Chains A and B, each alone.
Chain A
Amino acid sequence: MDFAEWAHGRWAGLVRAAIVLGCTLEEGQDLAQTTLERCYGSWRRVQDAHDPEAYVYRILLNCHRDSRRRRWWGERPTDLLPDRGVADQTDRVDTADAVRRALADLTAEQRQVVALRFYAHLSEQQTAEVLGVAVGTVKSRLSRALRRLEGSVHLTDLNGGH
């Protein structure tokens, strides 16, 4: 399994899951990058894992917890200055912000379940293993999360009131 190819295939899911967990777009990208760095550092272990997908998202969750514990995101020294020209990022930032507001009513546990189940595309069993809870707990958290989301004012507003 080629790491670069594998990382490309996981990137979008990791960033989206991070945003659903409550990160901004930039934080989500940082979190996904840190997760993939750890995977590269333990590449053989990832490959040998019983369930590599669940293993990767468990790393993502651990990184997320660590970052919340630290309360800030460490600066990364880099050889390249990020002063290259980029397109207007307003739209993508707005969209990520809208997702975050829509999910603001969920608890941290409910966010985790939604992120893993719908945006990491893990099964209920895999989600339960990553979170270290019973499958029944995953189901009940997901059910409560979806009830809240269905009644979310933010989502209604974002949907043009329809």
Chain B
Amino acid sequence: MSERPDTLDRLVDALDVGTPPVPEIVARGSARRRRRRRSDAIAVTVMTAVLVAGGATLASRTQEEPPTPTTAPVTLPARFAPAMTLPALVGVPAGQAAWSREQATLWVPATLSSCGLRASSQRTGTAIRIDVAPFPAEDMVCDSAGVLTAVVVGGVSELPTQLIVSYLGDERMRDVVEVGPVDELAAHPGAACPDRLPLGDDPDGHGFGVTAPATSAPRHAEPDRAWVCQYVARGAGRTASGGRTYVWTRRSPAVPVPTTALRGLDRLAPFDGAGRICTSELGPRWMLVLAHGTDLTGVVIDDFGCEDVRLTDEPFLTPPGEAWQPGTVPGVLQAPDGLLAAIRTAAAEGPSNR
């Protein structure tokens, strides 16, 4: 192999490069270390460009205008991957906030500086105030049209009633977010049921949802309106061991159901497998969508096997069996005699809707 030219070698070796200014290096390195510790110490609020993955949108952001509740909720999955980045962050539109009850975390998208943001939060009663400013960046050039970032506020176990976001401490750049209930009906115009049942943890790949029995019965409230949709299993792929995986897709349009036809919903009970023998064939599933005002609840009933029942508090978002909102319960329930037959009848008789 050829060697470096002798002249170059001599030139480089002849360079008088001086000696390192160790005291200055140590002083500046220490300052760098302190800055990093300070940023780590901001425990409640964290600047990140990589964490957000959509969310149950709670409110619109307004600029000194009357608050407008959002009509476009987006999904916040139960888990998120730290590697998720800009495309996932887009799941929370600019001007909206996202909240996860499971993670007790609030996300607020913000774009202010390519060097990152420093944020602090303060709670007053049921309101949360977030102050956002560019991260102090020595020797860095920051672009105000920088990367999409999000302020993540931890420890938010309950919805705030108001969110105030101020930038650079300037009250003129203050956003006031009124947190209001999501209008689930308006969020999905033209559809009472989702095209596909939401999937959660699905270790068997069959898309049934959780298998643990519910620990309590749901509290039933008379719905204002109701619809029923039928879902069938469609092959979605193969597991690593060669088994089939399924997704549950809607077979036909939603059918409005008279609420008087749904007797038995108030007798849903935790699944009790003792002494029950269930067939193992696969059939369709039904989703009853119950509207209480603008809030929707889904009741998913298997038309096969043990006729398991699972609830979803957001039929478009929450996987069956993972409901948590007041009145609903997670886990598997069992239907009282006659409910499945009533649903079949209603679906066959009711006029097509939406």
**Alpha-carbon separation in the docked complex, A4 to B19 (Å):** 11
> Size of chain B's interface in residues, with CB distance under 8 A?
33
Structural contact, A8 and B19, CB atoms closer than 8 A: yes
B124 within 8 A of A: no
Structural contact, B12 and A33, CB atoms closer than 8 A: no
Contact with B along A72-105 (1 / 0, CB 8 A): 0010101000000000000110011011001100
Residues of A within 8 A of B9 (CB): 118
**Alpha-carbon separation in the docked complex, A124 to B30 (Å):** 33
Q: Could you say which of A32, A74, A152 contacts B20, with CB atoms under 8 Å apart?
A: A32
Contact with A along B18-34 (1 / 0, CB 8 A): 11111011101110110
Residues of B within 8 A of A158 (CB): 7, 11
B65 within 8 A of A: no
Counting residue pairs across A and B whose Cβ atoms lie within 8 Å, the total is: 108
> Size of chain A's interface in residues, with CB distance under 8 A?
48
Q: Per DSSP, are chain A's interface residues mostly helix, strand or loop, or mixed?
A: helix
Structural contact, A7 and B25, CB atoms closer than 8 A: yes
- On B, residues with C-beta under 8 Å from A are 1-9, 11-12, 14-22, 24-26, 28-30, 32-33, 36, 138-141
Q: Can you spell out 28 A-B residue pairs with CB atoms less than 8 angstroms apart?
A: A7-B25, A10-B20, A15-B15, A16-B17, A19-B15, A25-B17, A29-B17, A33-B20, A33-B21, A33-B25, A37-B32, A38-B29, A40-B33, A41-B32, A74-B138, A74-B140, A91-B16, A95-B14, A98-B11, A99-B11, A102-B8, A102-B11, A146-B3, A147-B2, A149-B4, A152-B5, A155-B8, A159-B7
- On A, residues with C-beta under 8 Å from B are 3-4, 7-8, 10-12, 15-16, 19-20, 25, 28-29, 32-33, 36-41, 43, 70, 74, 76, 78, 91-92, 95-96, 98-99, 102-103, 114, 118-119, 143, 146-147, 149-150, 152, 155-156, 158-159
Q: Sorted from nearest, which 7 A-B pairs have the closest CB atoms?
A: A40-B29, A41-B32, A15-B17, A74-B139, A11-B20, A92-B16, A159-B7
